[in-house]
Amino acid sequence: MTPIQFKRRTVLASLGASVLSSAVTPALAQSPAYPNRPIKIIVPWAAGGGGDVIVRLMGTSLQKRLGQAIVVDNRPGAVGTIGSLAAARSPADGYTLVYGGMESHTIAPQAMKKAPYDPRKDFVAIAPLGFFPAALVVSASHPAKTLNQFLLMAKDAKTPMSLGSWSTATSGHLMMEALKEAKGVDLLHVPYNGTAPLLQAQLSQQVDCSINVLSTVEPHIRNGALRVLAVSMPQRLPEFPDVPTLKELGLNVERGPWVGIFGPGGLPADVLARVHEAVDATLKEPAIVEQTKKMFFVVEHMEQRAYQNFYLSEIDRWGQYIKTAKIAIE
């Protein structure tokens, strides 16, 4: 090949590459913006529960704001880890999200002997929804009128007094461990399979006291069957102005079980921003605010980065209680 032939072929090859590049670049630039198809939100709990209700309540507004159908996919089981694992294994493209929270994302993966996923690496916290206040209650006939009175009775008891939760390795259980550690009292943990069975056990006085979701026990507080000794809130509830918070009583607990929208780790920044904006705006709608108040659900607003930092700090905080109490899920 002569030098002139070589030069000619080199130029032609370069021109061909330029033409190919100019043909491909517009196609890439014209790729559909997110979202361009339905978005699935996995709820790792049974249909009809509090979390399921909230996600479905938000569905219509999210659909309008994102311009795509919102599909709710219930996948209950194993303290929320079955559905959460499905989300973690999904492509990080924003089309599979998950309703996650304290139980499924900070407690269960650290309490299980074989963790199904790494909560730090496999998920990103997109937007907070809020939390369900929990209430520490006793029977209305119980002699203790305050939590301090109850704890004094527990310290003097010859056999440990019992405190029920809605299951092992749940936020209710961990709050109990925080209470025991902060007050130096021995209480017998009695787990039940859900908030409803726990309520029935408390009403029939099978346990001395219990930590349950406020929305579950509130009607029975109102009708005089139960007495509330404390709530998990940053401030006192307007509905119960005389009831102290656990924080007031010296516990490092400000919230009940908190929940939010999560996605697989590695979600693009533009997707994070778009979903966060849509969720945050939806939670500010008057109709949503009104409905969540009726459920005793406390809505929270945080920037995405702040929520991610909160999430990571919660993993560390509750992980320490899990280790101290030697909590384990087989």
- Cβ–Cβ < 8 Å for 137, 271: no
Q: What is the pLDDT of residues 84-111, one digit of tens each?
A: 999 999 999 999 999 999 999 999 999 9
The pLDDT confidence band at residue 31, using thresholds 50, 70 and 90, is low
Report domain extents, the chain.
39-131+258-325, 134-231
Lowest-confidence region among 16-30, 172-186, 196-210, 292-306: 16-30
The candidate with the shortest Cα–Cα distance to 91, out of 115, 60, 122, is 122
For strands 258-264 and 96-101, give the pairing. antiparallel
Please state the rounded mean pLDDT for residues 235-261. 93
The pLDDT confidence band at residue 25, using thresholds 50, 70 and 90, is very low
The whole-chain average pLDDT of the chain stands at 89
Res. 275: pLDDT tops 80:
yes
In this structure, CATH architecture of domain 39-131+258-325: 3-Layer(aba) Sandwich (3.40)
Res. 77: pLDDT tops 70:
yes
CA–CA separation, 246 vs 276, rounded Å? 30
CA–CA separation, 304 vs 277, rounded Å? 9
The pLDDT confidence band at residue 194, using thresholds 50, 70 and 90, is confident
Residue 148: per-residue pLDDT: 93
Residue 330: per-residue pLDDT: 75
Q: 323: part of which helix (H) or strand (E)?
A: helix 304-325
Residue 18: per-residue pLDDT: 43
Do the first three CATH levels of 39-131+258-325 and 134-231 match, i.e. the same topology?
A: yes
Report which of residues 322 and 49 the model is more confident about. Answer: 322
Residue 8: per-residue pLDDT: 42
Residue 306: per-residue pLDDT: 98
Please state the rounded mean pLDDT for residues 289-309. 95
Residue range 134-231, CATH number: 3.40.190.10
The maximal CA–CA distance of the chain, rounded, in angstroms, is: 106
Residues 6+ apart with CB under 8 A from 152: none
Q: What is the pLDDT of residues 118-150, one digit of tens each?
A: 999 999 999 999 999 999 999 999 999 999 999
Sheet holding 39-43, edge to edge: 70-74, 39-43, 96-101, 258-264, 123-131, 298-299
Residues 6+ apart with CB under 8 A from 149: 143
